[in-house]
Amino acid sequence: MVTVPSCDVDSRTWIGTKSRSGQVDRAEEAANLLEAGELIPMREPATRQVDLMRNKPPNLPALRVLLKKYTAILEPYERNK
């Protein structure tokens, strides 16, 4: 069983990050945890999805959906704070 350390990947707090790059950084952190823990299929790597968002014009609604998706997958593995 994979245990994810408590981290600041929380879709409820990402809005507090003022810069778009900070928001993308949160999504990238979640993507790295998902890939390292082998929690998602690698047909379409999570880090690739984040990288595509980083290189396109800002799309905050899509970024929010992506971060919520990643957070939902990680939540069951989070250690108690």
| Per-residue model confidence as pLDDT tens digits over 2-32 | 444 444 445 555 545 556 677 888 889 999 9
Domain residue extents for the chain: 14-77
Question: Using alpha carbons only, what angle is made at residue 76 by residues 70 and 77, rounded to the nearest 5 degrees?
Answer: 90
Q: Which residue has the higher pLDDT, 75 or 4?
A: 75
DSSP line for the chain? ---BPP-S--TTTGGG--SHHHHHHHHHHHHHHHHHTT-S-SSS-HHHHHHHHHHSS--HHHHHHHHHHHHHHHGGGBPP-
Mean pLDDT of all residues in the chain?
79
Predicted TM-score (pTM) of the model is 0.73
Distance CA 74, CA 2 (A): 10
In the structure, what pLDDT confidence band is assigned to residue 35 with cuts at 50, 70 and 90?
very high
In the structure, what pLDDT confidence band is assigned to residue 48 with cuts at 50, 70 and 90?
very high
pLDDT given for residue 39 in this prediction: 93
Could you identify the residue written with the tokens 């299929």?
41
